[in-house]
């Protein structure tokens, strides 16, 4: 039996002060959504039901951002503390290795140059995390993150670019609206799992409608005095 309460305590203590969209509740949503996607694919007989895979999705979802370079000042020390917690919470060394592999290889930035291979549980966690960048919550997270790093909402003179490296992803001058073109609209094509693809499609449509509406308001074309 895994002591999930210990893992929740670890995640809460590490993520409690985050205001960039990577807080504890983001981890909990990723854990829940990842499990729901997995459950749905099991029911559609896309994958074999396995309680261990479900548990690994739950654990990795909760802690995936605790070692993120954006969140913590010392990712290596945090990873060591996390390993200790996982062991204490009752994970076997193979289960711990699965979680560590997932959370150290799943980020968007680490997958720009070359796609990293993930375990079955890792594929669901990565899809759930990417889905958190889409939909209504994804929009909120994008503008929060963009504001935090000093980016403008939109500037028609700054064009979107094609992202080719981690460095460029983190440091090029851009706007949050460009981030939709540069990253968010590409996520749907990167999904690993059947349910993840389906939900990514829905959430991307929502995002596209939002951007279209944003541009209408910017251009003034949503205003019709005759209506
Ligand atoms: P990952 O967690 O896979 O490393 P990121 O940390 O880059 O991915 O993204 C996490 C969240 O921050 C997402 O919701 C994403 O849209 C948002 N984000 C990342 N970079 C930017 C940016 N330049 N502008 C706006 N939002 C961003
Ligand atoms: Ni995340």
Structure token digits, residue 207: 């995002």
Question: Do the Cβ atoms of 200 and 135 come closer than 8 Å?
Answer: no
pLDDT in the model for residue 121: 98
**What confidence tier does 165 reach under pLDDT thresholds 50, 70, 90?**
confident
Residue 7, helix vs strand vs coil: helix
User: Ligand 1: distance of its center to the CA of 158 in Å?
Assistant: 19
Q: How many residues does the chain have?
A: 227
In the chain, the percentage of residues whose pLDDT exceeds 90 is 85
Question: Residue range 3-17: average pLDDT?
Answer: 97
Q: For the residues 211-221, what does the mean pLDDT come to?
A: 97
User: Is this prediction's pTM over 0.85?
Assistant: yes
What angle do the packed helices 120-131 and 93-105 form, to 10 degrees?
A: 40
Q: pLDDT band for position 224 (50/70/90)?
A: confident
The per-residue pLDDT for 99 is 98
Q: List pocket residues of ligand 1, CB cut-off 6 Å.
A: 21, 70, 107-109, 129, 133, 138, 141-142, 145-146, 151, 174, 176, 179, 184
Look at residue 116 and tell me whether its pLDDT is greater than 80. Answer: yes
- For 48-107, the pLDDT digits (tens) are 999 999 999 999 999 999 999 888 999 999 999 999 999 999 999 999 999 999 999 999
> Quick one: average pLDDT of 106-117?
86
Q: Measure 48 CA to ligand 1 centroid, in angstroms.
A: 32
Q: What is the DSSP string of 42-61?
A: HHTTSS---HHHHHHHHHHH
Let me know the angle formed at the C-alpha of 129 by 40 and 162, rounded to the nearest 5 degrees.
120
Ligand 1, atom 8: nearest CA belongs to which residue? 108
- State yes or no: pLDDT of 200 exceeds 90: yes
Give the tens place of pLDDT for each residue, 177-196. 999 999 999 999 999 999 99
What's the pLDDT score for residue 152? 97
- Count of helices and strands (H, E) across the chain: 10, 0
- 110 CA from centroid of ligand 2 (Å): 13
Highest-confidence segment of 107-121, 122-136, 162-176: 122-136
How far is residue 200's CA from residue 63's CA, in Å, rounded to a whole number?
Answer: 22
């Amino acid at each position: 039996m895994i002591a999930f309460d210990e893992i929740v305590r670890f995640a809460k203590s590490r993520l409690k002060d985050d205001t960039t969209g990577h807080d504890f509740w983001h981890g909990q949503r990723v854990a829940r959504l990842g499990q729901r996607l997995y459950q749905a694919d099991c029911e559609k007989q896309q994958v074999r039901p396995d309680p261990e895979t479900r548990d690994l999705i739950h654990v990795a979802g909760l802690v995936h951002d605790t070692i993120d370079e954006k969140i913590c000042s010392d990712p290596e020390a945090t990873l060591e503390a996390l390993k200790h917690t996982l062991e204490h919470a009752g994970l076997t060394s193979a289960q711990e290795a699965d979680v560590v592999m997932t959370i150290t290889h799943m980020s968007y930035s680490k997958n720009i140059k070359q796609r990293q291979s993930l375990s079955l549980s890792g594929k669901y966690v990565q899809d759930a995390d990417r889905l958190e960048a889409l939909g209504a919550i994804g929009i909120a997270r994008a503008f929060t993150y963009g504001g935090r790093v000093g980016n403008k909402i939109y500037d028609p003179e700054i064009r979107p670019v094609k992202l080719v490296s981690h460095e460029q992803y983190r440091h090029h001058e851009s706007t949050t609206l460009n981030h939709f073109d540069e990253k968010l609209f590409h996520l749907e094509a990167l999904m690993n799992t059947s349910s993840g693809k389906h939900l990514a499609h829905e959430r991307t449509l929502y995002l596209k409608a939002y951007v279209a509406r944003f541009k209408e308001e910017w251009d003034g074309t949503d205003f019709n005095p005759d209506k």
